[in-house]
Structure formats: C-alpha cells, structure tokens
C-alpha cells in the first residue's frame, strides 16, 4: 500500500516520508490533455528488502511521451546475428551481475571460497565437470547453498569463486576439491582452496553485503568465455530473492528530490556500511545497506 502525501512535499529538499505514491488517474489524464510539453519526466522508486535486514533502494528517471496510436515495432534480427550483438552481450552481463548480487544477498553470504588449479587449466568442459562433482559431493555432507562465478586469469587459467554463508569445514572442502583435481604432473596437489571473509576485503564488520557486489564483478561479457545462451554463474536451488516494491514519485519531482528521497530511506534504515551510486546524467541513484544484525 502507498501512503497519500501532498504534492507540496516534493518541493522540499528533505523528504520526511518513507513511502511515495502512484500518480493518480486524474493526474495522468490531465497531463495527457494539457497543452504542455510532449515529454514528461517521472521518477520511479524500487525498494527490495532481504531477510537479514539488507536493503536496496533505487530511483530511476524515465521520460514519457504524449503520443496517440501504437509505437513502431523495432526491426528484429536473426538471433545471434544482430548488429547489436556486442550491446546485447553487455546487457546480458549486467543482468547476470544483478542476479549474482541479489542471490548472494538472499543467502547472506559472508565468505568466499576460491577453487584453484595448480596447472594452467583452460578446459571449459573439465571446469564444468569438476564443479558439478564438487557441488554434488558437498551436498552429500551439508545443505550447501552457494553462488559461484568463474574468473579467467591473464594467463588463461580458470578459478571458481564461491560465495557462501557462515563458517565452513575447510578441511572437508579442501579434501573434496583435491580429490577431484588429483595430482599435477610433478606429483604435487593439483588444486587448492582459498578462503576469505569480508574483513580481508577491507569491508569491515558492516561490509559483508559488499561481498555480493565484489563477487559479481567476475561476470564477464567476453564472448570467448561465455557463448550465446550459456549461463554466466551457478547457484544452488531454493534461493528466494525477495520481490521489489515500487512506486512513482509525484509529477514535478526533480533529480535532487528523488536522490534525497532514496538517501533518506537508506539512512533511516541503516546508514552504517552504506554503499552508494548516483549519476544525474543517467538518471539513477542506488543505495545498498548492510545487514541490521551485524
């Protein structure tokens, strides 16, 4: 439900309300009928809250066009042959990064495991086979919730980064991985497990939520690594990402007020360890808060 507020509140430089409202049907109808500009700027607020108290709040700007009749349909290109293939792949990478970040927050990740090979392992089929065996064997010993991405180093070798929640039995994890990869040509262990917690990233005790953004950076838009329609990450079943609530700020809201609204919501929720991004040219302001129980 949205609370009713006066439009006069939008002119204030300090929002004092916690919720906005949808533009009414009368407001929309009057705007469509008036003789004003054909372009109308609106601001939408998207708010997603996670079970451990993390919260993501975003304001995005859009421009509505007063136009009657249907809009022209875009030209469709054959799948995979589009001239915009590069842009499509970049958009796909952005969606995958968001999916990784949200899944990490949904399971409250606070540790990152890195599965490595001693050799310069560049075989994608072996990578997928080794990972599948690892996650199945882990599942035999515990309820293994994870979000995993692949990093390709400059030398070409693959690493698997796995975000998890809580302390792990590292001896068990190391034993499973080393048994899967076997011995290298020189008779030494063919792989290793590295473990890091948020403090090692310099995030501090309120920065566990930033680990979600950190691991998502390994999502690559390089088509040499990710073929068309191939998934860019792995995650365990049963991860439930909370739905986002959204509402439109009243007509007449400007960028300053929209950004102030987002910042006020974030600060009122939990301002310790807050992550923030804003770009007025792009018309976006995004805030992420840390868990409330840290």
Question: Is residue 77 assigned to a domain?
Answer: no
Mean pLDDT of 126-153: 91
In a domain, 56, yes or no: yes
| Residue 61 CB contacts under 8 Å (≥ 6 apart), including other chains | 41, 42, 43, 255, 258, 283, 284
In a domain, 80, yes or no: no
CA distance 220 to 9: 43
Q: Do 169 and 29 fall into the same domain?
A: no
What secondary structure does DSSP assign to 81-128, as a single string?
--TTHHHHHHHHHHHHHHHHHHHHHHTT--EEEEEEESS----HHHHH
What is the arithmetic mean of pLDDT over 152-173? Answer: 88
pLDDT at 188: 75
Residue 72 lies in a domain: no
Phi, psi of 261 (to 5 degrees): -60, -45
User: Which DSSP state fits 7?
Assistant: G
Closest CA to 251 of 66, 23, 52: 23
Give the pLDDT of residue 205: 60
Same domain, 215 and 252: no
What is the C-alpha separation between 68 and 126, in angstroms, rounded?
56
pLDDT at 274: 83
Look at residue 75 and tell me if it is in a domain: no
- Is the pLDDT at 263 greater than 60, yes or no? yes
Decide which of 201 and 250 is more confident.
250
* pLDDT per residue as tens digits for the range 23-61: 566 666 665 565 555 567 889 999 999 998 899 999 999
pLDDT of residue 74: 54
Residue 120 lies in a domain: yes
Q: Assess contact for 15 and 261: CB atoms under 8 A.
A: yes
Is 135 or 207 the better-scoring residue by pLDDT?
Answer: 135
Range of 193's domain?
Answer: 86-235
What mean pLDDT comes out for the span 221-236?
62
Average pLDDT for residues 185-190, to the nearest whole number? Answer: 72
Tell me the pLDDT band of 258, cut-offs 50, 70 and 90: very high
Whether residue 220 is found in the same domain as residue 103? yes
**Could you report the per-residue pLDDT of 63-121, keeping only the tens digit for each?**
766 555 454 555 555 655 555 666 677 777 888 889 999 999 999 888 889 999 988 88
Tell me how far apart the terminal alpha carbons of the chain are, to the nearest angstrom: 29
End position of a domain, from candidates 210, 235, 260: 235
Residues 212 and 134 in one domain: yes
Q: Let me know whether 215 and 141 are in one domain.
A: yes
* Beta bridge partners of residue 43, listed in sequence order: 61
The confidence score (pLDDT) of residue 94 equals 84
pTM over 0.85? The answer is no
Residues 91 and 220 in one domain: yes
pLDDT per position as a tens digit, 205-218: 666 677 888 888 87
Which residues, listed in sequence order, are joined to residue 276 by a DSSP beta bridge? 287
Report how many domains make up the chain: 2
In terms of domains, do 145 and 120 share one? yes
Q: Is 184 exposed, middle or buried (0-12, 13-18, 19+ CB in 10 A)?
A: middle
Final residue before a domain boundary, out of 235, 250, 271? 235
Q: Are residues 17 and 142 in the same domain?
A: no
CATH assignment of the domain containing 149: 3.30.70.1910
Residues 257 and 227 placed together within one structural domain of the fold:
no
Give yes or no: residues 27 and 102 share one domain.
Answer: no
Residues 110, 218: one domain?
A: yes
Q: Does 294 map to a domain?
A: no
Q: What is the pLDDT of residue 76?
A: 58
> Is the residue at 104 inside a domain?
yes
Q: Alpha-carbon distance 75 to 69, whole Å? A: 18
Q: Where are the beta strands (DSSP E) in the chain?
A: 39-49, 55-65, 111-117, 147-152, 158-164, 191-196, 234-235, 245-248, 275-279, 284-289
Clarify whether residues 246 and 229 are in a common domain.
no
Cα–Cα distance list, 174 to 131, 148, 192, 238 (Å): 13, 17, 7, 25
Per-residue buried b or exposed e for 117-154, using 16+ beta carbons within 10 Å of the residue's own CB? bbeebeeeeebeebbeebbebbeeeeebbbbbbbbbee
């Amino acid at each position: 439900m949205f609370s009713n507020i006066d439009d006069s509140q939008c002119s204030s430089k300090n929002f004092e309300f916690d919720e906005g409202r949808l533009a009414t049907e009368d407001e929309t109808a009057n705007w469509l009928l008036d003789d004003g500009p054909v372009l109308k700027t609106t601001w939408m607020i998207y708010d997603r809250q996670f079970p451990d108290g993390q919260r993501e709040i975003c304001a995005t700007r859009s421009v509505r066009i007063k136009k009657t009749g249907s809009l022209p349909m875009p030209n469709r290109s054959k799948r995979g042959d589009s001239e915009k293939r590069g842009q499509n792949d970049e958009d796909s990478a952005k969606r995958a990064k968001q999916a990784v970040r949200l899944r990490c927050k949904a399971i409250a990740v606070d540790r990152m495991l890195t599965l490595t090979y001693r050799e310069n392992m560049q075989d994608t089929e072996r990578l997928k086979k080794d990972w599948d065996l690892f996650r199945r064997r882990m599942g035999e010993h515990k309820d293994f919730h994870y979000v995993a991405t692949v990093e390709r180093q400059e030398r070409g070798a693959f690493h698997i980064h796995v975000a998890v929640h809580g302390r792990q039995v590292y001896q068990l994890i190391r034993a499973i991985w080393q048994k899967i990869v076997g011995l290298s040509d020189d008779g030494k262990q063919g792989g290793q497990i590295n473990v890091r917690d948020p403090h090692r990233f310099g995030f501090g005790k309120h920065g566990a939520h930033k680990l979600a953004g950190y691991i998502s950076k390994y999502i690559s838009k390089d088509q040499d690594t990710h073929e068309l329609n191939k998934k860019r990450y792995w995650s365990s079943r049963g991860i439930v990402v909370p739905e986002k609530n959204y509402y439109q700020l009243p007509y007449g809201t400007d960028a300053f007020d929209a950004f102030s609204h987002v910042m006020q919501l974030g600060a009122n929720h939990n301002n310790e360890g807050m992550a923030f991004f804003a770009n007025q040219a792009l018309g976006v302001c995004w805030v992420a808060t840390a868990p409330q129980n840290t």
